[in-house]
Amino acid sequence: AQSVTQPDIHITVSEGASLELRCNYSYGATPYLFWYVQSPGQGLQLLLKYFSGDTLVQGIKGFEAEFKRSQSSFNLRKPSVHWSDAAEYFCAVGLNTGGFKTIFGAGTRLFVKA
C-alpha cells in the first residue's frame, strides 16, 4: 500500500542553524512529491513540489528538497532557520490510481529556539 513516513514527530533547532526534515514514501511508480507547511489554526501552504527533471527543487521561503529514488526519500532542507519557520511540515505523495489523490505523512512539528 502507498504510504508516506515522516520519522520525526518533533524537531527543535536553533535560529540560524540548518534544518533537514525527513520524508520517505512507498509507491511503485515515480510519484508526485510535495511539501506543505501549516501554521497553528491555518490551512496548508505549498512549499515546493517535484514531478520530474532536476531532483533538487527550490521552493518558497528559502526551502529546498531533494528527490532520491534509490532511497525513496524527499527530504526538506533549509540552510538557516528563522523563528517564523516554526510550524508543522507535511510531506505528501500524489497518486494516480484511477482517480488522483494526495496522501500525507503524519507531519513534523518544528520548534525554533533563540
| Contact present, 19 and 83 (Cβ < 8 Å) | no
Contact between 10 and other proteins per CB under 8 A: no
**Site string (20-39) toward other proteins, x via CB under 8 A:** ------------x-x-x---
Contact between 11 and other proteins per CB under 8 A: no
Shortest distance in whole angstroms from residue 64 CB to other proteins: 17
Alpha-carbon distances, residue 97 vs 52, 57, 100, 101 (angstroms): 18, 25, 6, 8
Q: 31: closest CA among 4, 58, 59, 60?
A: 4
* Positions in the binding site for other proteins (CB under 8 A): 32, 34, 36, 41-46, 49, 51, 90, 94, 96, 98-107
